Amino acid sequence: MFSPALWLLLLFQSPAPFVQVPAGTYTVGQKGSLQNPLRQVKTAGFEMAATELTNAAFAEFIAATGYITDAEKFRNALVFEPGLAEFRWLEDSTASWRYPNGKSRGGSKPDHPVTTISYRDAEAYCQWAKVRLPTLDEWEIASRAGASTLYYWGEKTDQIRDYANIWHGRNHLVADSSDGYMYTSPVGRFRPNAWGLYDMYGNVFELCAGRLPGEKNIAHARGGSWWCSKNACNFFNSVNIGRVHPRASFSNQGFRVVKQTRANEAVPAAPTHARLKKDNKNSCCLLGGTAK
């Protein structure tokens, strides 16, 4: 938890800078992808936060409004600890943005991205801060930074260690801190993309607005997370789209914000093969796995 002195310091911190994404027509998606087919979309331009929203910024929202997150309200969030089989997570009644992996695993850190919040929580923050979540297409335009490849540097994963906080271990049975972090890292600790946006891949899955056709009661997130590895949930790229229940709270799930709202998204065809395994408040699929 934050000390009183730190609270005062955080309340007067400047918000994260925004990067201007100019109006224009952009190529998104991937040839052959059912979920995210190759296509062109137009945008009137928007500004995207250079980093993911931090715990410090979210703390300002909580202090001003007294808002109670879904994880606190339902006393149910999904957390991880090394030793779990692939795609298995723990349900923890003590976990929330204040204790992202549960009280027994330590409190949140001011300069790390806020996690263990739901899509509904992210929307509440945006309403208070007079910003919004990026659409699926806006996130991808910003992530690509003008590139047409799977990653904004090309097609190979060999540079991922420079740009993203991900899981480098062979599996999740043994802790991996080979890049300096087992869970989240401070925002902006890794190299930015060509437009100056940090952590577009890895660190936390970033919630986005909008639905794919045919879906109900589903939220989406993009970019992969600290939990994602090349052998499991390798969504740390500009193409894949994760899915989660709007009330679900994971310790690898966060968001960044945009300004200058525009209704400019052309959504792709709905997938027919991927469905949620459970449909309760904490069910999940592609963000990380299933509850143990």
Asked whether the beta carbons of 133 and 207 are under 8 A apart, the reply is: yes
- Distance, CA of 14 to CA of 80 (rounded, Å): 32
- Distance, CA of 162 to CA of 208 (rounded, Å): 24
Residue 267 has a pLDDT of: 41
Give residue-wise pLDDT tens across range 45-72: 999 999 999 999 999 999 999 999 999 9
- Distance, CA of 79 to CA of 282 (rounded, Å): 11
Asked whether the beta carbons of 79 and 92 are under 8 A apart, the reply is: yes
Give residue-wise pLDDT tens across range 180-189: 999 999 999 9
For residue 46, the tally of other CB atoms under 10 A from its CB is 23
- Distance, CA of 288 to CA of 40 (rounded, Å): 29
Residue 274 has a pLDDT of: 32
Largest CA distance in the chain: 53
Average pLDDT of 170-198? 97
Of residues 197, 245, 225, the one with CA closest to residue 18 = 197
CATH label, 18-261, candidates 3.90.1580.10, 3.40.50.720, 3.20.20.370, 3.90.930.12: 3.90.1580.10
What is the average pLDDT value for the chain, to the nearest integer? 87
Helices within the chain (DSSP H only): 4-11, 55-65, 70-74, 119-129, 136-144, 160-163
Tokens of 11: 């309340």
Tokens of 95: 């976990």
Share of the chain above pLDDT 90, in %: 80
Residue 215 has a pLDDT of: 87
Output the CA–CA distances (angstroms, integers) from residue 285 to 58, 85, 224, in the order listed.
Answer: 26, 15, 13
Average pLDDT of 191-217? 95
Kindly give the pairing relationship between strand 18-21 and strand 77-79: unpaired
Task: Say which residue, 178 or 283, is predicted with more confidence.
Answer: 178
- Domain extent listing, the chain: 18-261
φ, ψ for residue 124, nearest 5 deg: -65, -40
Average pLDDT of 117-142? 98
- Where do we find the tokens 């899509």? 119
Average pLDDT of 18-41? 95
Confidence check: pLDDT of 282 > 90: no
